[in-house]
Amino acid sequence: MKSRYDVVVIGGGLLGGSLALGLARDDVDVLLLERDQINQHASGRNAGSLHFQLEYRMIERGIEAARRAAEAIPLHLEAARLWQELSASIGPSLGVSQHGGLMLATAVEDVRRLEAKAELEQSWGLDVKVLDSAQAHDLAPYLSDSVLAASFCPTEGKANARTSAPALCRAAVQAGATVLSRAGVTSIERHGSRWRVVAEHEGDAVVVETDAVVLAAGVWCSELAEMMGSYVPVEPVALTMSVTARTAPLTPYLIQHAGARLSLKQSVEGNVLIGGGWPAQVTTLPNGSIDLRGRGQLLADSVAGNAAAAMNAVPAVADLPVLRTWVGTTTLAPDQLPVVGPLPGAPGGFVATGGSAFTLGPVFAELLGELVQGRAPRLDLRSYAADRFSGTAGTTERAAQHA
């Protein structure tokens, strides 16, 4: 184990793995530190949707909010390309299939919303077309008769959330990265023109110096940013998911709804995964703060609402026994947009988290890879800069302390 690396990436999830891979392929000397097992947290606990159409949560509050959310479409276009490219270079262990995604409308106002959404998406260059009821049923005869229209995006699909991050970490190691799991970072301090990162690994302190530190640790980014004298206000959000028993092939598509919280897809093994953003309760510690390691509490209304949304879209789901319902946590910034870019007040520090982080993980990795190497990122990141929150008192205080 060396004592100096060009870049230290903290977080062994999808983003950390793809970033370490990208950097190693660029001959950058990179160390990835993961406090736990690889893929133990958000990257491994979501439903693995690759969704490029605007989600329900982005279109439910009217066209203006949708317009703002649509500014992220360039990230999604890049993600569609990168998932394909990664799958070709790494192989089936990513579990990527991009057979397309349908977003359904079952009420007249949903149809209108779908049409406005598609127009907006097309204006940003996303391949989306609106199918009428007959066309939608031709494509997917198992859809409910109540489906009046559906938008179809051919690049949408799914990846295997269980295997993607480990596969990327392994590819990173093969490309020359050093990956150290069971290494919890205990301090990150400025040391001359570099950062000194200290981690605890099997009872020993691992101390490395590096030019750049990238935070890819989801909800722990706040805590780590604070060690670096910076500020990233992200919080865990708990969501509900369910999975049914294995069944015969039912649908190759990712299915969403324009008027309800729903995502539905079938795994390779045949289980149907149902999610779509129904809330769950985060767990709190006795002092009232959020337990970042907690698994959250299910809310009965969410479980029932999610199941109803699934059965309304694909009636055959009603016959499948639900094996399990669980809470997956994700990380969101206060404005729900991604946070990608340099860490304010911490030269050589970078961060990416929030937003549709599973879908966008490979894009975040690509953009951070460019930034870390001093190149201009290929997409405009101003809307996602971490310093957009720097007007808050917390930041000023922290910045002053570390000035």
Sites of contact with other proteins (CB under 8 A): 35-41, 44-45, 91-93, 160, 162-163, 165-167, 169-170, 173, 179, 181-184, 202, 243, 245-246, 267, 269, 271, 293, 295, 323-324, 326
Give, in order, the Cα–Cα distances in Å from 172 to each of 50, 235, 300.
Answer: 22, 28, 41
Choose between 44 and 369: whose C-beta lies nearer to other proteins: 44
Tell me the CA distances in angstroms from 82 to 64, 227, 236, 339, one per residue in order: 29, 32, 26, 19
Supply the minimum distance, in Å, between the C-beta of residue 328 and other proteins: 10
- In whole angstroms, the minimum distance from the beta carbon of 320 to other proteins comes to 13
Work out how close the CB of 196 gets to other proteins at its nearest, in angstroms, rounded to a whole number.
Answer: 21
Alpha-carbon distance of 358 to 75, in angstroms, equals 12
Question: At closest approach, how far in Å is the CB of 184 from other proteins?
Answer: 7
For 335, the token pair is 């404005």
Work out how close the CB of 102 gets to other proteins at its nearest, in angstroms, rounded to a whole number. 24
The least CB distance from residue 19 to other proteins, in Å, is 16
In whole angstroms, give the CA distance from residue 70 to residue 335: 14
Length, in residues, of the chain: 403
DSSP label of 97: B
| CB of residue 7 to other proteins, shortest distance in Å | 18
Q: How far apart are alpha carbons 201 and 221 in whole angstroms?
A: 20
For other proteins, the closer CB: 277 or 296: 296
Which of 229, 236 has the CB closer to other proteins? Answer: 236
355-to-127, 138, 358 alpha-carbon distances in Å: 21, 33, 9
- Of 103, 134, 77, 149, the C-alpha closest to 264 is 103
Matching residue, tokens 């990230």: 75
**Which is closer to other proteins, CB of 160 or CB of 356?**
160
Give the containing element (helix H, strand E) for 180: strand 178-180
Who contacts 170 (Cβ-Cβ below 8 Å, separation ≥6)? none
Distance CA 154, CA 342 (A): 33
CA terminus-to-terminus distance, the chain:
33
Q: In this structure, what token pair is assigned to residue 240? A: 């509900």
Check if the beta carbon of residue 66 is closer than 8 Å to that of residue 120.
yes
CB of residue 78 to other proteins, shortest distance in Å:
24
Considering beta carbons, is residue 68 or 295 the nearer one to other proteins? Answer: 295
- Least distance in angstroms from the C-beta of 187 to other proteins: 17
Q: Is the dihedral of CA 307, 309, 310, 314 positive or negative?
A: positive
Q: Please say which residue, 270 or 377, places its beta carbon nearer to other proteins.
A: 270
Closest to 32 (Cα-Cα) out of 181, 206, 175, 186: 181
**What span, in angstroms and rounded, lies between the C-alpha atoms of 274 and 328?**
12
C-beta of 249: minimal distance to other proteins in Å? 15
Nearer to other proteins, 122 or 163 (CB): 163
Among residues 249 and 374, whose Cβ is nearest to other proteins? 249
Residue 6 Cβ vs other proteins, minimum distance, rounded to whole Å: 20
Q: CA-CA distance, 196 to 188, in Å (whole number)? A: 6
Contact by Cβ (8 Å): 333, 233: yes
- Name the residue nearer to other proteins (CB basis): 94 or 153: 94
Query: Please, are residues 255 and 156 in contact by the beta-carbon 8 Å criterion?
Result: no
Nearer CB in complex with other proteins: 173/311: 173
**Based on CB atoms, which residue is closest to other proteins, 215 or 327?**
327
